[in-house]
């Protein structure tokens, strides 16, 4: 068995943010695998098979695509960037745990614009200096580890992007995470909620850590947390610019 599996990042949603490379690979594929709503974003092509799957079955989806990759041009579709809380790690995990023959499959990963970069661009440069990306989901890691990471990031002055902030099955984690941050950062630290960034129903709200309300987030929200140095520049008639200076104090 040999073959090739392309893992393709669609970016945050708008077509103008899909790379030409990603578009070309998707157009050429015989079969597409992915979470249903992401597949729906790919322009249809006659004769191309689509295998939508549910949200939380990444490993099963990866295995199905690897099985198919021996015999056809297969692309795995990922939202944002496949390497950031998305499908690339699941594909690698499936290869490692799968039959030896899967190690002969060429895995080609096509990067995309991940949510935190699209959101940061909409408001200025809140991730303009050292920063981290943390998934608030405790499905695959213990919650105390999330809290340790949030505390450490705040203590050393990382700006932060929070992915998977909340869901029906994880209703309290965002509130608890914000409380951890409040113990280490000033209440006026800028916080940005971005929902459905770069899509038609995009909603962006700039607030502060003191005022941040978990009710303002859902599964489609990415949240950026500034540092004690992050600036908000008011602008008459325009939304404020938010940026974290390149210069950091000792």
Integer Cα distance of 205 and 221 in angstroms: 11
Examine residue 156 and tell whether it contacts a copy of itself (CB under 8 A): yes
Q: Does 57 bind a copy of itself (CB under 8 A)?
A: no
Choose, by CB under 8 A, the member of 26, 77, 91, 174 that binds a copy of itself.
91
147-166 b/e with 16+ CB inside 10 Å = b? bebbeebbeebbbbbbbbbb
If binding means CB under 8 A, how many residues of this protein chain bind a copy of itself? Answer: 82
Query: Using the rule CB under 8 A, which residue among 67, 121, 180, 204 binds a copy of itself?
Result: 121
How far apart CA 81 and CA 76 sit, in angstroms, is 12
Q: Which of residues 95-114 bind a copy of itself (CB under 8 A)?
A: 95-96, 103-104, 106-107, 109-114
Is residue 188 at the binding interface for a copy of itself, with CB under 8 A as the rule? Answer: no
Is residue 11 a contact residue for a copy of itself (CB under 8 A)? Answer: yes
Per DSSP, the three-state class of 11 is strand
- Per rule CB under 8 A, is residue 176 in the interface with a copy of itself? no
**From the list 74, 149, 193, 194, which residue makes contact with a copy of itself (rule: CB under 8 A)?**
149
d(CA 165, CA 113): 19
Tell whether residue 70 is a contact of a copy of itself (CB under 8 A). no
Cα dihedral 46, 47, 48, 53 sign: positive
Shorter beta-carbon distance to a copy of itself: residue 127 or 185: 127
Q: Does 215 bind a copy of itself (CB under 8 A)?
A: no
Candidates 34, 79, 128, 226; binder of a copy of itself (CB under 8 A) is: 128
What's the rounded Cα separation, in Å, for the pair 224 and 162?
6
Pairing assessment for the beta strands 4-9 and 106-110 based on DSSP bridges: parallel
Give min distance, CB of 210 to a copy of itself, in A: 22
């Amino acid at each position: 068995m040999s073959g090739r599996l392309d893992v393709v990042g669609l970016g945050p949603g708008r077509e103008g943010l899909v790379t030409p490379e990603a578009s070309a690979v998707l157009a050429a594929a015989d079969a597409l695998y992915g979470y249903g709503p992401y597949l729906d974003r790919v322009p249809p092509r006659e004769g191309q098979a689509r295998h939508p799957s549910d949200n939380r079955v990444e490993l099963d989806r990866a295995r199905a695509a690897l099985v198919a990759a021996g015999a056809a041009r297969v692309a795995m579709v990922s939202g944002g960037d496949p390497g950031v809380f998305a499908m690339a790690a699941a594909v690698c995990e499936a290869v490692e745990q799968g039959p030896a023959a899967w190690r002969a499959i060429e895995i080609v990963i096509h990067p995309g614009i991940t949510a935190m970069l699209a959101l940061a661009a909409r408001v200025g440069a809140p991730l303009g200096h050292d920063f981290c990306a943390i998934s608030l989901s405790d499905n695959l890691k213990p919650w105390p580890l999330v809290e340790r990471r949030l505390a450490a990031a705040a203590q050393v002055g990382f700006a932060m992007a929070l992915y998977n902030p909340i869901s029906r099955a994880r209703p309290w984690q965002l509130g608890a995470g914000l409380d951890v941050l409040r113990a280490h950062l000033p209440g006026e630290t800028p916080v940005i909620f971005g929902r459905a960034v770069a899509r038609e129903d995009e909603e962006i709200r700039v607030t502060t850590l003191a005022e941040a309300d978990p009710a303002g987030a859902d599964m489609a929200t990415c949240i950026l947390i500034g540092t004690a140095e992050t600036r908000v520049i008011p602008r008459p008639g325009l939304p404020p610019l938010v940026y974290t200076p390149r210069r950091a104090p000792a």
